[in-house]
Structure 1
Amino acid sequence: MKKKVFFISQNTDVSGSQLNLKNIISFLKDDYDIFLWSPTDGELAKYYRENNIPLYVKDFFVDSTNRFKEEIEFSQETEKQIKRFIKKYRSSNKKIAIRCAGRITEKLLEEYDFSEVNLIGLFDGNPALFGKEIGGVPVYSKDEIDKFDIDILVIAHKQPKHLREEFKGKKIKIIDDLFIGSRTSRVLRLLRFYTDLIEPIKLIAKINPDIVFINNLRCFWVVIAGKLLGKKVIWAIHECFSPRTFQAFPQNVFLSSFRFVDRFIFPSRITAEMFKEFVPENKVNIIGNGLNISDIEKYKQNISIVDVKNELGIPLDHKIICNVGITDSVKGQIHLVKAGINLLKKSPDKNFSFILVGAKENLYLANIRSMINEAGFMNHFHLIPVTRDPFKYLSISDIYVCSSMQESFGIALIEAMAFNIPIIATDTYAIPELISHNETGMLIPLKNMEIHIENEINNLVNNPEKMKILAENAHRKLLSQYTIEIEVAKYKKVIEG
């Protein structure tokens, strides 16, 4: 009798971790009875239905309350507190700092006038932000705060408790209650969380799986629901940050849920390292994503490079530089664009074209478009919307550039390897686990990234033999470590273990 596996997916949209899950399920469906839950009906839902995989689409409050929201909203109470704070410290000589340079801080500085407040800087733990400015305010490392003799620190985070611990024993006034909501609202939200947990428990009980498999960090509530029913729980975590910084609600339930999980899967060693405080080493499994190489080889045979170039209006003699990823500051495409503009300005023939696959309409993309327009190079940049077929663009590319500030794995990198494209990538997070410098690609630092991208593109274009060697080495590594068959075999071992 086949084991029942109930997969929990944060959505069925086209994205790295969801595409990877679809590929795994496609290989597991003959050996297991597969069931899937998602709160939304996305593009990948069609595949599941066509393959007779039961898909339960239902939204639960326990999930939606922790869902990422494009727009940060301040409550009326928070807005009043912010205004009182600014009024109190306007024209004061008190040195004020903000801990966290994230989306809350961006909105805070965008919507409120801090010009008369002695705001010294923003302090964060993300190296990618150091030296930058948000709303005209410089970002420093959190470890530098002692240099500034700060009087007042505002913690711009919805879960400020763990950040407050950083300043224990320091003579700094901490303000950490601006963004957490009133006590009454938090109690009501907590009551609803526990009440609404009944619905997913009923769903899991109805399916009665042998194994509950969670495919993202947000759905931690499934650990509680699964364990209350006595199920084996496997948790695949693709997110690449400390769990203490995850704005989960209720946070104590989230942080406690790790102890009840039977097995964990991480796509890279660096991701597992970030969770080591909560995840015992004997429960950790490092399983990188895998590609269906036979499908890619068939794709290569059936694609016409000339036709794709003609479709995009790219001259046949142009060197094509590609990047795949949803346009976002974390993916860092703007640095590639800056490098591209500099290359084109210096190139007598201007025989470069740049393809950015994953253009999503947002402010970041608008800034990229504006930069390209002002430089007068729109004909050299091709901004391709999010697509299920990045292979079309990889097939015509000469160099792949990963400009990410962080990656928990980097599936686009192994896709570039599959197409024998030499890679330039940032030396950060999980990327060095995939790319060995000067062997399977070229690694560049985050600092002054656009300068390094420009230099490495020039170096590779002028050294075709090196391009060939890097691509061949990377392709061999792909075949030995990152095929779907290797990945699925490891997943089966965890499921059966």
Structure 2
Amino acid sequence: MKKKIMHIVESAGGVEVYIKMLLKYMDSNKYEHILVCSNDYCKNDFDSSVKAFEQIDMIREINFKKDYMSIKKVRRLIKHYNPDIVYSHSSKGGAIGRIANLGIGKKQLYNPHGWAFNMDCSNIKKKVYTMIEKFLSKFTSKIVAISEAEKDSALQNKICNSEKIEVIFNGIDIDKYNEDKKNYIINRNNLNIPKDAFVVGMVGRISRQKSPDIFVKAARKIKDNIPNAFFIIVGDGDEREEILQLITKLNLEESFLITGWVDNPMEYIQIFDLAMLISRWEGFGLAIAEYMVSKKPIVATDIDAIPNLIKHDESGYLARVDNVDSIVKGVLKIYEDSVYKEKLVNNAFKRVNEKFDIKRVAKEHEKLIDDLSRR
């Protein structure tokens, strides 16, 4: 009989991509999946990988009335579908799923996809998030950390003991990338980017976490040193208008493109000459693995899980958080030194194929679920 796994998730974006890939590569002869998700998800994207798809109202912000209603609905769904394992994803999905499972007693997996208490927020919020995670960890069979840094952070904040945490590094669908790139149609010409431009790009939500403001400020200094530089942000978010205003203020309108949300960011990454992920905090940084497999040199920030992926001066350049000059220094070093650039690209490409393939992620999940089921 197949093991039945109920996934509960509020957050879209990178978490959604992760779940799509995970469900695709887990053995469909051994496991069936029920997806309980927010209204940000599209049923058609999961038709071939889930037994059941249930959308409920879930929001990122804490709202006691709405959260209570979400918990009631999830609790009913757990009782209705009777899964072997409840797998809750992200901080909000993790809280709702684990509270809903109280008293029902299904085996409980939780993947925070980046701890909420590591976000750039007030000390009061950090303390509240830490208290919630500590309390709910008591009702969690296993916590899946997507990096060693995420595990270390949990232990430093005394969320749980080491035995409760399983590190399963994140990954990307390398096979799909190799197949899809044969059919890419996006190019510099149809994006109105000059053929001789040095394109610096980043993929991610336009939100404080991803430091789009620092990206634009760095762009100004890069442009002063590399006159043919052009800049792309692949993504969208709640800070878009502020970033557009900053682009205008720094006279970068003719050298900047914000794509909005796109179906396949990898198609845009192949246009980049250099890729950035300069986050203020980061649970894993899936975009980095995408940059690696696309053979793009990387400038990223030395924060949280990113050094688990990139070794400074070996597979990428690590800059200091919120430090424009440090970021620009990395860009110029890569631009001016082709031998250095090739070393970074080759080492990163080797590393992503060895460490960050989603097939490995799926296999490690299967082992974890099988072990948990035997307890």
Q: CA deviation at 1:409?
A: 0.4
Q: CA deviation at 1:45?
A: 2.3
Q: CA deviation at 1:489?
A: 0.9
Q: In the alignment, what sits opposite 2:121?
A: none
Deviations 1:322-353 (A, max 9, x none): 10111112211221211221222344xx2111
Q: In the alignment, what sits opposite 2:177?
A: 296
Q: CA deviation at 1:273?
A: 2.3
Q: CA deviation at 1:376?
A: 2.9
Q: In the alignment, what sits opposite 1:7?
A: 7
Query: Structure 2: 5+ residue runs without aligned partners?
Result: 119-123
Q: CA deviation at 1:384?
A: 1.1
User: Is the partner of 1:56 in helix, strand or coil?
Assistant: strand
Residues 58 and 391 of structure 1: CA distance in aligned 2, closer, same or farther (over 3 Å): same
User: Is the partner of 2:108 in helix, strand or coil?
Assistant: strand
Kept after mapping to 1: 8 A contact 2:188/2:271: yes
Deviations 1:361-410 (A, max 9, x none): x4x33232223223333121111102221111101111111111110100
Q: CA deviation at 1:469?
A: 1.1
User: Is the partner of 2:79 in helix, strand or coil?
Assistant: helix
Q: CA deviation at 1:287?
A: 1.2
Q: In the alignment, what sits opposite 2:313?
A: 438
1:133-282 pair list within 5 angstroms:
197-219=71-93, 220-242=95-117, 245=125, 255-276=134-155, 277-282=158-163
User: Is the partner of 1:446 in helix, strand or coil?
Assistant: coil
Among candidates 323, 326, 351, match of residue 205 of structure 2: 326
Q: CA deviation at 1:413?
A: 0.6
1:10-21 pair list within 5 angstroms:
10-11=10-11, 13=12, 15-21=13-19
Kept after mapping to 1: 8 A contact 2:302/2:318: yes
Q: In the alignment, what sits opposite 2:254?
A: 379
Residues 290 and 462 of structure 1: CA distance in aligned 2, closer, same or farther (over 3 Å): same
Between the aligned partners of 1:458 and 1:195, the Cα distance in structure 2 is 52
TM-score, normalised via structure 2 length: 0.89
Between the aligned partners of 1:390 and 1:253, the Cα distance in structure 2 is 34
Name which of structure 1's ranges 261-270 and 198-207 shifts more when overlaid on structure 2. 198-207
Deviations 1:121-145 (A, max 9, x none): xxxxxxxxxxxxxxxxxxxxxxxxx
Amino acid at match of 2:45: Y
Between the aligned partners of 1:445 and 1:53, the Cα distance in structure 2 is 45
Between the aligned partners of 2:348 and 2:269, the Cα distance in structure 1 is 15
Q: In the alignment, what sits opposite 2:277?
A: 402
Between the aligned partners of 1:241 and 1:198, the Cα distance in structure 2 is 23
User: Is the partner of 2:312 in helix, strand or coil?
Assistant: coil
Kept after mapping to 1: 8 A contact 2:3/2:84: yes
Among candidates 228, 233, 236, match of residue 359 of structure 1: 236
Between the aligned partners of 2:113 and 2:67, the Cα distance in structure 1 is 24
Q: CA deviation at 1:209?
A: 0.8
Q: In the alignment, what sits opposite 1:168?
A: none
Kept after mapping to 1: 8 A contact 2:7/2:87: yes
Among candidates 332, 335, 352, match of residue 214 of structure 2: 335
Q: CA deviation at 1:302?
A: 2.7
Deviations 1:247-266 (A, max 9, x none): 869x9776422112111101
Q: CA deviation at 1:3?
A: 0.8
Say whether 1:312 aligns with 2:191.
yes
TM-score, normalised via structure 1 length: 0.68
Query: Structure 1: 5+ residue runs without aligned partners?
Result: 73-188
Deviations 1:60-88 (A, max 9, x none): xxx55xx327xx9xxxxxxxxxxxxxxxx
Residues 6 and 247 of structure 1: CA distance in aligned 2, closer, same or farther (over 3 Å): farther
User: Is the partner of 2:114 in helix, strand or coil?
Assistant: coil
Q: In the alignment, what sits opposite 2:37?
A: 38
Kept after mapping to 1: 8 A contact 2:315/2:344: yes
Residues 291 and 193 of structure 1: CA distance in aligned 2, closer, same or farther (over 3 Å): closer
Amino acid at match of 2:240: L
Q: CA deviation at 1:199?
A: 4.2
Residues 240 and 226 of structure 1: CA distance in aligned 2, closer, same or farther (over 3 Å): closer
Kept after mapping to 2: 8 A contact 1:259/1:278: no
Between the aligned partners of 2:70 and 2:289, the Cα distance in structure 1 is 40
Deviations 1:206-243 (A, max 9, x none): 10111111112223242243242231111111133438
Between the aligned partners of 1:234 and 1:411, the Cα distance in structure 2 is 21
Kept after mapping to 1: 8 A contact 2:147/2:170: no
Kept after mapping to 1: 8 A contact 2:56/2:70: no
Q: CA deviation at 1:433?
A: 0.8
Kept after mapping to 2: 8 A contact 1:227/1:233: no
Amino acid at match of 1:264: I
Kept after mapping to 2: 8 A contact 1:216/1:239: yes
Q: In the alignment, what sits opposite 1:287?
A: 168
Between the aligned partners of 1:496 and 1:28, the Cα distance in structure 2 is 12
Kept after mapping to 2: 8 A contact 1:36/1:54: yes
